[in-house]
A and B are shown apart, each in its own frame.
Chain A
Amino acid sequence: DAKTTQPTSMDCAEGRAANLPCNHSTISGNEYVYWYRQIHSQGPQYIIHGLKNNETNEMASLIITEDRKSSTLILPHATLRDTAVYYCIVRINTGTASKLTFGTGTRLQVTL
């Protein structure tokens, strides 16, 4: 799976949009971009994934650049409960082994 690069940490004021970047310059054509987050003392939680089109769900939006070498996860109105470690993962979406390779992620701190 392609390697990803994320900032170690970020801060965001409550109510503002949180934009979390991820570089994946070696991504191949059949690899998807996944985002998970991990709140303290909990297991990782799936947020969103995409291939090349931008995606939006009830949690977040995912913007993937046209060359697919980077992406941004957007939390439109961050709350204190969004404080967590956010992991960007790229992997092939197969029907069998769905092993995810986590890096160290971005620690997002949402403040009042």
Chain B
Amino acid sequence: GAGVSQSPRYKVAKRGQDVALRCDPISGHVSLFWYQQALGQGPEFLTYFQNEAQLDKSGLPSDRFFAERPEGSVSTLKIQRTQQEDSAVYLCASSRGGVRLAPLHFGNGTRLTVT
């Protein structure tokens, strides 16, 4: 299908390892978002891109979290020196953006487990 694709679907990392999570947004979508969802909670905003520009990174919990979208399409969320509290589902969403704002389309997420 033509939805938002995230990989890997599941990731297990030992504490202290670095991980990289990939998001392929819907083709042509200008806006891209990353969210973090802890078990039993609603998604929490991490960061937002408009094309390749990272316009809001206010939700990133620490400087161990880094996101990029170098060509304005695929995005990668990197977590350095993972900690157990980083265990969560990481969701990516994209939208057309624009004045009449289109809804966000979410991927099915990457479940990260830090052991």
Give the B-binding residues of A (Cβ under 8 A). Answer: 34, 36, 41-46, 49, 85, 87, 93-105
Contact = CB atoms under 8 A, between A and B. Distances in A.
A96 B50 contact: yes
Contact of B104 (A46, A85, A96): A46
Given A43-B107, A45-B106, A95 B101 contact: yes
Interface stretch (B11-19, B61-69, B72-80, B91-99): B91-99
Interface of B: 4, 31, 33, 35, 40-45, 48, 50, 55-56, 91, 93, 95, 97-101, 103-109
A95 B40 CA distance: 31
Contact of A43 (B31, B42, B103, B108): B108
Contacts of A95: 97-99, 101
B104 A98 contact: yes
A103 to B, nearest CB: 6
Given A42-B108, A43-B109, A46-B105, A96 B97 contact: yes
A87 B103 CA distance: 14
Contacts of B41: 104
29 contacts: A36-B104, A41-B108, A42-B108, A43-B93, A43-B107, A43-B108, A44-B104, A44-B106, A46-B103, A46-B104, A46-B105, A85-B42, A87-B42, A94-B101, A95-B98, A95-B99, A96-B50, A96-B55, A97-B55, A98-B95, A98-B101, A99-B33, A100-B104, A101-B45, A102-B42, A102-B43, A103-B42, A104-B40, A104-B41
